[in-house]
Amino acid sequence: MILLNLLPHREAARKKRRDAFTVSMGLSALLGLAICGAVYLWYEAQISAQQARNAFLQAENRRLDEKIKDIANLQAEIAALKARQQAVEDLQGDRTLTVNLVNELAKQLPEGAYVTSMKQDGNNVTLTGVAQSNERVSEVLRGFSYTSPWLTKPELVEITAGTIAVSPRDQRRVSNFTMRVKLVRPTDALRAASAPAPVAAPANAAR
What band does 17 get if pLDDT is binned at 50, 70 and 90?
A: confident
Dist. CA 35–CA 28, nearest whole Å:
10
Burial class (CB in 10 A: 0-12, 13-18, 19+), 118: middle
3-class secondary-structure state, position 159? strand
Residue 43: partners with Cβ closer than 8 Å, 6 or more residues away: none
Q: Which residues contact 82 (CB under 8 A, 6 or more apart)?
A: none
Hey, how many other C-beta atoms are within 10 angstroms of the C-beta on 183? 22
Backbone CA torsion sign across 139, 144, 146, 149: positive
* Average pLDDT score over residue span 176-197: 71
Domain 97-194 is classified in which CATH homologous superfamily?
General secretion pathway protein M, EpsM (3.30.1360.100)
Q: Greater confidence, 10 or 148? A: 148
Q: Which residue has the higher pLDDT, 11 or 69?
A: 69
Rg (C-alpha) for the chain, rounded Å, is 50
Give the rounded percent of residues in the chain with a pLDDT score beyond 70: 84
Rounded to 5 degrees, φ, ψ at 7 are -75, 150
The full set of domain ranges for the chain reads 17-95, 97-194
Look at residues 157, 152, 155 and name the one whose alpha carbon lies nearest to residue 183: 152
**Is the pLDDT confidence value at 197 over 80?**
no
pLDDT per residue as tens digits for the range 135-155: 888 888 888 888 888 888 889
Rounded to the nearest 10 degrees, how much is the dihedral formed by the CA atoms of 136, 142, 148, 154? 100
Instruction: Give me the mean pLDDT over the 185-201 stretch.
Output: 56
Helix (H) or strand (E) holding 178: strand 170-183
How many CB atoms sit inside 10 A of residue 74's CB? 10
- The predicted model gives 195-200 an average pLDDT of 50
Output the pLDDT for position 5. Answer: 55
CA angle 175, 180, 181 (to 5 degrees): 120
Where is mean pLDDT largest: 12-21, 82-91, 96-105, 134-143?
A: 134-143
Measured CA to CA, the distance from residue 105 to residue 184 in angstroms comes to: 14
Q: What is the mean pLDDT of the chain?
A: 81
Average pLDDT over residues 47-76: 91
Question: Could you tell me the pLDDT band of residue 188, with boundaries at 50, 70 and 90?
Answer: low
**36, pLDDT greater than 50:** yes
DSSP conformation class of 207: -
pLDDT of residue 206 exceeding 50, the answer is no
Q: At what angle do helices 186-194 and 9-94 cross, to 10 degrees?
A: 120
